[in-house]
Amino acid sequence: MRVLVLGADGYLGWPTCLYFAGRGYDVIGVDNYFKRGAAAELDCEPLIPVPNLAERARIFKNASLKIHIGDVTDYGFLLFVFKEYMPDVVIHYAEQPSAPYSMLNRDKAAFTIQNNLISTLNIIHAVKETNPDCHIIKLGTMGEYGTPAIDIEEGWIEIGHKGRKDRFLFPRQASSLYHTTKIQDTDLLWFYVRTWNLRVTDLMQGPVYGIYYDDQRIDERLFPAFHYDEIFGTVVNRFIVQAIVNHPLTVYGEGGQTRGYLNLKDTMQCVYLAAENPPARGELRVFNQITETFTVNELAEKIQRVGDKIGLNVSINHIKNPRKEKEKHYYNPKYTGLLELGLKPHFLTDEALIEMLDVIKKYQKNIQPHKFLKGIKW
């Protein structure tokens, strides 16, 4: 089986390449290094230096991994890659992934729309043109659903209205431009699935935390890019780093915001399970890719408690919320689909947190607290 990983340089893209290559897949990893450039521009480079993809592929020493540097929004380039490798599965991580980045200004917003939608459009057209049987796995986000007052189903809902009923995509309304482009991606995929009978899995993922999955532990040069900054970092990773340098954990507003979270190790499992169990032609299959839900306060208190246990002195600071979002709300998402496919969750246990704290402690000298807050508001 041949898998094309788009966005192979990313926090999830790179471990996905290794995970599939280690399990008998031929892997083609593609990236345009957008995030490296943006991180340099915005002064928020990752905690641990990350060799370029070609260098990392050499360190990995696995002939089944090939790298191409190029832009998925360039249809000529993408079509070349599809024709050259004829993948059975394409995993689409090649999106601008940051909510704050998308809210910086008009140009970053326009870039986010163009990059995320044209990359998705190009993948759809390349699949149609070369092999309509190819399975597209797109990384969505739980953020597409927002925080509705009703239970969140896995992608679809039956609506009864005035004595009649029909089945629809679950209503989506996001709280950043970035998250909105993921809704627009879904609009795009769902249209072409119906029209061209494609085979698509949409993974509605919550915020991921973690440093690596087990096979990567051997060599720090194979760690994925670990961001702890306001722009590209995720909340658990940022809190872990803050705990190490005795910086108060920066809770936005009241901290009642509830989200579904998962370990990077489980992202690997989920994407792999999706690839191994493709949906039928003409199906847009949606999974909610989370393993447990927490409020931000619960996360902060957990990390405070575990940090104190290992001799750190962790404090919590509620700062003015730079985002427009509900700080207290109903939240009850369903997430059974991936469990039914065989997912074995790694929960956010004390041991998991201690493992992360231990690893990050080794890189304490790299931590730059000015990255925690860059002042992006909306």
Positions that interact with its own copies (CB under 8 A): 75, 106-107, 109-110, 113-114, 117-118, 121-122, 125, 129, 148-151, 157, 159-162, 164-166, 168-169, 171-177, 180, 183-184, 187-188, 190-191, 194-195, 324, 330, 378
Q: Which is nearer to its own copies, 36 or 128 (CB)?
A: 128
| Among candidate residues 321, 327, 295, the one with its CA nearest the CA of residue 378 | 321
Q: Which is nearer to its own copies, 330 or 347 (CB)?
A: 330
In Å, what is the CA distance from 15 to each residue of 11, 49, 83, 182, 369? Answer: 7, 16, 25, 22, 26
Q: Which is nearer to its own copies, 181 or 263 (CB)?
A: 181
Give the number of other CB atoms < 10 A from CB of residue 194: 11
Identify whether 309 is a catalytic site residue.
no
Integer Cα distance of 130 and 201 in angstroms: 19
**Are 278 and 135 in contact, with CB atoms under 8 Å apart?**
yes
Least distance (Å) between residue 253 CB and its own copies: 15
* Catalytic entry in 25, 178, 192, 228: 178
Q: Which is nearer to its own copies, 160 or 311 (CB)?
A: 160
Least distance (Å) between residue 46 CB and its own copies: 29
Q: Which is nearer to its own copies, 174 or 299 (CB)?
A: 174
> Which residues on adjacent β-strands are paired with residue 293?
260
Question: Alpha carbon 137 to chain centroid distance?
Answer: 12
Buried b (16+ CB within 10 A) or exposed e, 340-357: eeebebbebeeebbeebb
Least distance (Å) between residue 182 CB and its own copies: 10
Least distance (Å) between residue 126 CB and its own copies: 9
Q: Which residues contact residue 204 at a Cβ distance below 8 angstroms, ignoring those fewer than 6 apart?
A: 140, 141, 142, 144, 145, 154, 155, 286, 287, 288, 289
Least distance (Å) between residue 200 CB and its own copies: 14
Least distance (Å) between residue 337 CB and its own copies: 18
Identify whether 320 is a catalytic site residue.
no
Identify whether 349 is a catalytic site residue.
no
Least distance (Å) between residue 134 CB and its own copies: 16
* Catalytic entry in 108, 138, 182, 371: 182
* Catalytic entry in 141, 147, 180, 258: 141
Residues in the chain: 378
Q: Which is nearer to its own copies, 46 or 146 (CB)?
A: 146
Q: Which is nearer to its own copies, 246 or 336 (CB)?
A: 336
Q: Which residues are catalytic?
A: 141, 178, 182
